[in-house]
Amino acid sequence: MNFLILANHRNKHYPKVANLVLSHGQEGSSAAGEHPKFLSICEKKGELIPVLVKFSPPVSDAISQRIADLLICEHIAHKILQKHGHAAPQSCLIRGEGRLFLEIERFDRNKSGGRLGIISLRALDLEFVGQLKSWADTSESLFRQKKIDEITYKKIVWLETFGRLIGNTDRNHGNISFFCDGEKIKGLAPVYDMLPMMYAPQQNQLVPRLFNPEPKKFSEISVWNDALIAAQVFWSQVHHHPQISEEFKVLIAENESKLLPLR
């Protein structure tokens, strides 16, 4: 179900939608994942924008605060990806009734509300590779088979490198997708769920995690420096973001410096 909401009313209406969604149980979504979310249509300056909205619980304890911090991290990652020339969705943060909402403009819709053709890296791996090892391994095989071009292959390697340097331990093949026209792949779609998932609560508990980034791999040599710089900027922006909790800032305080020896 989509909800039509005016942009300047989101802080009032999104909490109502979140409560409605939760009261009916967490429904399935075209975007896989366990994070609570709903679909909406937001009217901005007379234009109707299809969006996906993730949301935290009312922030009242360490678990709910961590979820809110991670939503902010995802928003920061979107901005950094864009700055470094990679496809990323437009997103914004909204607070209402104690919850934090991450509104993400849908990249699988056109301006008239119709669907764009999308195929996941998972689907391509299952069809042409059959391994589901890593983004880089799958995309290298697809490149060798001429299913994707070299630029797309290197962009995926960059995304995987950046992801592991920001602690994204959930780099599943469903989070990389491609625009397509029938069977023809037309380009890389914005990456989904790019955030430091190593810090996500597990079974409603905060499990201590040590950020220990590994040095570059052979396949990452050509993209390493730029991805490393982007990751350093990410941790710096997270550490200085005004909405990130002090507890999370303490937790990730040394992450940027841990990347320095990897240059």
Strands (DSSP E) contained in 73-169 are 91-96, 99-105, 118-120
Please tell me the pTM assigned to this model: 0.94
| Region 238-249 average pLDDT | 98
Q: Which range has the worst mean pLDDT, 17-31, 71-85, 90-104, 145-159?
A: 17-31
Report pLDDT for 109. 87
| Region 170-191 average pLDDT | 93
β-pairing, 99-105 with 47-55?
Answer: antiparallel
Report the alpha-carbon distance of residue 184 to residue 153 in Å, rounded. Answer: 16
- The verdict on whether 170 is a catalytic residue reads yes
The DSSP secondary-structure symbol of 34 reads: S
Contacts of 112 (CB under 8 A, 6+ apart): none
Contacts of 242 (CB under 8 A, 6+ apart): none
Report pLDDT for 29. 42
pLDDT category, 34, cuts 50, 70, 90?
Answer: low
Report pLDDT for 182. 82
| Region 230-234 average pLDDT | 98
Which of 67, 100, 58 has the alpha carbon at shortest distance from 200?
67
pLDDT category, 64, cuts 50, 70, 90?
Answer: very high
Q: To which residue do tokens 């995690």 refer?
A: 209
Label residue 69 exposed, middle or buried (CB < 10 Å: 0-12, 13-18, 19+). Answer: buried
Question: H or E stretch including 3?
Answer: strand 2-6
The one-letter amino acid code at 73 reads C
Which of 141, 22, 159 has the alpha carbon at shortest distance from 85?
159
Residue 31 has pLDDT above 50, yes or no: no
Report pLDDT for 4. 84
Q: Which range has the worst mean pLDDT, 3-12, 18-27, 134-143, 151-160?
A: 18-27
| Region 114-142 average pLDDT | 95
Residue 156 has pLDDT above 50, yes or no: yes
Which of 174, 158, 175, 156 has the alpha carbon at shortest distance from 166?
158
Using CA atoms, how far residue 234 sits from 73, 92, 240, in Å, is: 8, 16, 10
Report pLDDT for 27. 46
Report pLDDT for 28. 42
Beta bridge partners of 2: 39
Which domains are assigned to the chain? 2-105 (3.30.200), 118-262 (1.10.1070.20)
Within a 10 A sphere around the Cβ of 147, how many other Cβ atoms? 18
Report pLDDT for 57. 96
Spot the catalytic one: 61, 69, 149, 170.
170
Report pLDDT for 26. 55
Percentages helix, strand, coil for the chain (3-state, rounded to 5) are 45, 20, 40
Report the alpha-carbon distance of residue 106 to residue 51 in Å, rounded. Answer: 5
| Most confident stretch, 41-50, 54-63, 106-115 | 54-63
Q: Supply the mean pLDDT for the chain.
A: 92
Report pLDDT for 238. 98
- Buried/exposed 70-83: b ≥16 CB within 10 Å, e otherwise: bbbbbbbbbebbee
| Region 226-255 average pLDDT | 98
